[in-house]
Structure 1
Amino acid sequence: MAGKDGDATDLALTLTGITKAFGPVKVINGIDLQVRKGEFVVFVGPSGCGKSTLLRIIAGLEDQSAGRITIAGRPVDGVQPAKRGIAMVFQSYALYPHLTAAGNMGLALKQEGAPKAEIKQRVDHAAALLSLSDMLERRPAELSGGQRQRVAIGRAIVRQPDLFLFDEPLSNLDASLRINTRIEIANLHRTLGATMVYVTHDQIEAMTLADRIVVLNQGRIEQVGSPIDLYNHPANLFVAGFIGSPKMNLIAGAEAEKHGASTIGIRPEHIAVSRDRPLDGNTGTDNAWTGTIGHAEHLGSDTFLYVDVPDIGPVTVRLAGQYAHHVGETVYLTPDPERMHRFGADGLAIRQPAGLD
């Protein structure tokens, strides 16, 4: 599936029929995508899906086997990375240890022969955006991991590129720094209004940063859409099982056949839990699944139950708040029929849940 069509003047990046093969092995299989100016697009997918390879092709660090790339309206096939109008932030900081933060941030401009006054103005501006103004004379060894990554981002900002490319930039940071830096990147995008393409394996990064997410699998695009659109309306079983944490419960067999599907999906937060069998007042029957709690996680803000249901399998339930359920307890699970997803034997969604339209 390709990205949304747009007027050529409104497009920052266009990929047309991009493929990449290493010998007989194809790792990118015909990617078509359009990214609008000012958009924040995130590539997400499992390890080996081709997301980093695709980013490197856009950057010019890898040559595509076929297809065309346009950046800011200019064809860049065969153009060197430095002349593509892009700036890239890597997982590793890649800072020169003998240079100060200011020296690292302004190095590319210095190599291009930019005037000293312009270099200082751009570095100072980027430093102010990233709260680095008091650290410009420090060398990388004197900076924390989060500060080093901000210097790397600042080095990209001073180049004033048509397109920012991020390759898992937060992977080397601890959990608290990842949250802080993620917020800084989101604020930076809003402040600069810049076009950003971002690769991550972290769903939280994808869901919180992206205007649109591109879900990749085996070198192909499975679905493109806003985070909420993908969450509420997965196009197929792969997206349904990949987007969301905890992941969607996917159930095949007789239970799915009752709903006219090969597989049904229900998210953990769309399942009600009761200690007593819930009965329909009109029919005297119920649609509850009877199961035994195999594991319970009490997180304060949420309670996660992992319930073993005969003939259905393990079912994950997410309850908002604190609940005193315990391992070994028998519970009754009632999925919300308005929130149920149905998939055919081909893995494609049969229809989207009416409750999520």
Structure 2
Amino acid sequence: MGFLQKDKQKEDDSTDYIAATNTDVNSPLRQIAATKKKRYGAAVDGEFLFKEKDYADLIARECSIVTPNGELKWNATEPQPGKFTFESADAIANFCQKNNIALHGHTLFWHMGNPDWLPYPPTLEMIQRHVTGVMGHYRNSPVLKSWDIANEIIADNENETDDPTYGLRRGVKPELIRDLFKFAASVDPTKKFYLNDYGIEGATWRSSRFLKMVEYLKNSGAKIDGAGIQSHLWFSTAYGFDATGFSSVLKRLNDLGVKPVITELDIIIDTPLPDSIQKLDQMVADGYKRFLDICFAADVDTVITWGITDRHTWIRHPDWMPKKTYRDNPSVWQFLRPLPFDENLQPKLARNAIAQAFMQAP
């Protein structure tokens, strides 16, 4: 499937930033965000986007940017060595163009989402072929604006790395990531480049290594425009959120000239669980507002939730559902409500909290 012909009005990024008059908390999130020159978006799954009209209509109404869930990962785009396929990703790109939505490319390099034939880490030659094929295909796309060049390269913890300085996953060298970013810039320098990772929303071992890796890339002359902060968050009355540590991470990124971007936001409430769905929804909403207030104070301009409706959240998949809190307690499964809209695509308190955070942003 090819791209639609370019529409000059839709191609202009500024069209989404026209200050909308008469916006209120019930206006579409994309419209509220645009009044502050910001974007709201969500991860989308092509399988549901083209089967469920109500879901597609919700995405079109609320989002000014989307991230394909899996359609741009290596196993989807290069299932056999040197053989590329873009039918599913192109369908999402065409949906975006029809609805004046920007597309964020996710991802060129990851330890998961790979075909069986691909080693981790891939050789530089494999990476160059893949980047040439995938980035080259979208070089002239009117909607694809940015890429997660590398995703989750920091080890899960300090016991799973041989690299105490950068904390990279075993086998991954900082020079390989540097060369990946530099080669990507030789293929298409017109897009924004992100290093994307999780567990960096505070003063943690991972955030320290992530910041060192960002600094290394900057000092190496690599093109790195943004830092993708996934923000799969867990909140609980039993432990607090490290707001001070997170603010320091955002400040350091800004000081380095690397734009912090929220790429995969959702919120789980951990034990002790409240005694009602209503109380849980309020806790989730409070978490969104508190987190986004910190982000917007640091000039974050893009917020992407990992999904938009609880109907299609990855967190409800049995393989990913938090085991101790939820998988071992099926009676509380319904307390997994991490996204702005519920299973019936109705707005929740979380959706209103996101709207209020945008409206109150500097």
TM-score when scaled to structure 2? Answer: 0.30
TM-score when normalising by structure 1: 0.31
More strand by share: 1
Larger-Rg structure: 1
Considering fraction of residues, name the structure with more helix: 2
